[in-house]
Structure 1
Amino acid sequence: MANWNDPQPRQGFGASPIDGRTAGKVGYDQGLRKHMLSIYNTMASGVLLTGIVAMLFASSGLAVQVLSTPLRWVLMLAPLGFVMAMSFGLNRMKTSTLQMLYWGFAVVMGLSLSSIFLVYTGSSIATTFFATAAAFAGLSLFGYTTKKDLSAFGTFLIMGLVGILVAMLVNIFLQSTVLQLAVSVLGVLIFAGLTAYDTQMLKHQYAQVRGTEFAGKAVIMGALNLYLDFINMFLFLLRFMGSRD
């Protein structure tokens, strides 16, 4: 039983209870930083791989040939297939298998996104990319450092995401420029919010996966979530900042 009448930490051999708690906190913080850094590095590497594949595929002339055939639907739907495979097979797959699928996803996303180089100028794509990167860094930092619980905010954002997906499907038939503009504005705002929300959720998740076999998988899936936030925010923002050829 603790001696509440003795305010001084015990001295002698070994660390005091206070020192032990401090050491545990320092160890946890160091582990959290390492965990989040692994997520950011994996996410950034995936984005870089996607960009390289997209540029090479577009500059080679293959993008024009392939995207003008029914194979374009394969390229458009392939990334979704990878995401579904990773999500539903998460518990059964080994970490190495999940990682391989992540890199495969980044490659097929590059093939799919090569179409933007056929529509927008290279300079406007680069400008939008760096603007997205700056916004992503600030929003993710906010999500990591804020003391406010973003859980309820996240639920609202998910509902908004479903809404814009429905609106995009409807606009395929309506071809409304006003609705397209509204969807683009909401898309940027929603994925900006999701960046902060997902970052906070990944930070809190560390306490659950710390020291478990799932930690490696959590890094990959966390990188996938942030990757999707970044790419979608970039694509919606490109509709405003992109200059067409």
Structure 2
Amino acid sequence: MRTDAPTSFFATYPDEIAQQRLFIQTVYAWMAGGLLATTLAAWTTLSIPAIFELSIQLRWVLAIAMIGLVIYLSARIESMRPSTAKVLFLLYSVLTGKTLAVLFYAYTTESLATVFLITCGTFGATALYGATTKRDLSSVGSFMFMGLIGLILASVVNIFLQSSALAFAASVVGVIVFVGLTAYDMQRIKELYATAAANEARATNYAIIGALALYLDFINLFLNLLRLLGRRR
């Protein structure tokens, strides 16, 4: 018997504004939970040499698993049980932490903390803009998505070129792209609320997919800022 489907997600919030606020709060709560899981996974990996070495050896396996999880979550979110969506999102967050631990090892703790705070401020301001602006950001989202494709291609090319200038330029563009995507995704989450309100049984699932979008924006914004501002050991 399935008992985890939240058939009354908005039951105690009859007012539409309160319902939207609840949905957005749920999105942010899951995003924060994902970031916490990532932080704990990275810290554990860095603290235990055996796990750190294993993460290095399995880095490509972890990367493929992460891509697979994002694709599966995005494709099956409509039919997935809420408990499954929660577990897969947290699993993705943990795998991200284990993968990033290898990168974090190259940077000082102080610079990691500094860049994290800068990312929080940048992300917060951009998300606030996306949530409050009256402008339709659909065109911004499309433009930034094209920029993301270009960024991926440049990163692949630079694997062979090993150009520091191209890496720097890609990081600058990466910051711009993920700032734009943060604003766009935040506005899109307000649209997700309408879908969730029409299908309360899957409201948690829509909150999870919204949290995943913002989580990815935050992580990638952090990584690009780290490459620009981080201080290596």
Aligned length: 219
1:44 to 10, 29, 32: 32
Q: Using the TM superposition, give the Cα deviation of residue 205 of structure 1 relative to its aligned residue in structure 2, in angstroms.
A: 2.3
Distance change (3 Å), C-alpha of 1:30 and 1:143:
same
Q: Using the TM superposition, give the Cα deviation of residue 193 of structure 1 relative to its aligned residue in structure 2, in angstroms.
A: 0.7
The question of 1:243 aligning with 2:227 is answered no
Matches within 5 A, 1:182-201: 182-201=169-188
Matches within 5 A, 1:6-85: 27-69=15-57, 71-85=58-72
CA contact 1:55–1:117 (8 Å) conserved in 2? no
Matches within 5 A, 1:92-103: 92-103=79-90
Where do 5+ consecutive residues of structure 2 fail to align? Answer: 1-13
- Kindly name which structure, 1 or 2, has the bigger radius of gyration based on alpha carbons: 1
| In 1, Cα distance between equivalents of 2:52 and 2:33 | 26
Q: Using the TM superposition, give the Cα deviation of residue 91 of structure 1 relative to its aligned residue in structure 2, in angstroms.
A: 2.6
| In 2, Cα distance between equivalents of 1:32 and 1:91 | 20
Sequence identity (%): 42
2:221 to 201, 226, 233: 233
CA contact 2:131–2:187 (8 Å) conserved in 1? yes
Give the secondary structure class of the aligned counterpart of 1:119. coil
Where do 5+ consecutive residues of structure 1 fail to align? Answer: 1-25
Higher relative contact order (CA 8 A, sep 6+): 2
CA contact 1:55–1:114 (8 Å) conserved in 2? yes
Distance change (3 Å), C-alpha of 1:57 and 1:44:
same
Give the secondary structure class of the aligned counterpart of 1:148. coil
TM-score by length of 2: 0.90
Aligned partner of 1:9 in structure 2 is: none
Q: Using the TM superposition, give the Cα deviation of residue 116 of structure 1 relative to its aligned residue in structure 2, in angstroms.
A: 2.3
Aligned partner of 1:159 in structure 2 is: 146
| In 1, Cα distance between equivalents of 2:99 and 2:78 | 28
Listed one character per residue, the Cα deviations across residues 52-98 of structure 1 (whole Å, up to 9, x for unaligned) are 110111121135422443x2211222211211121122233111111
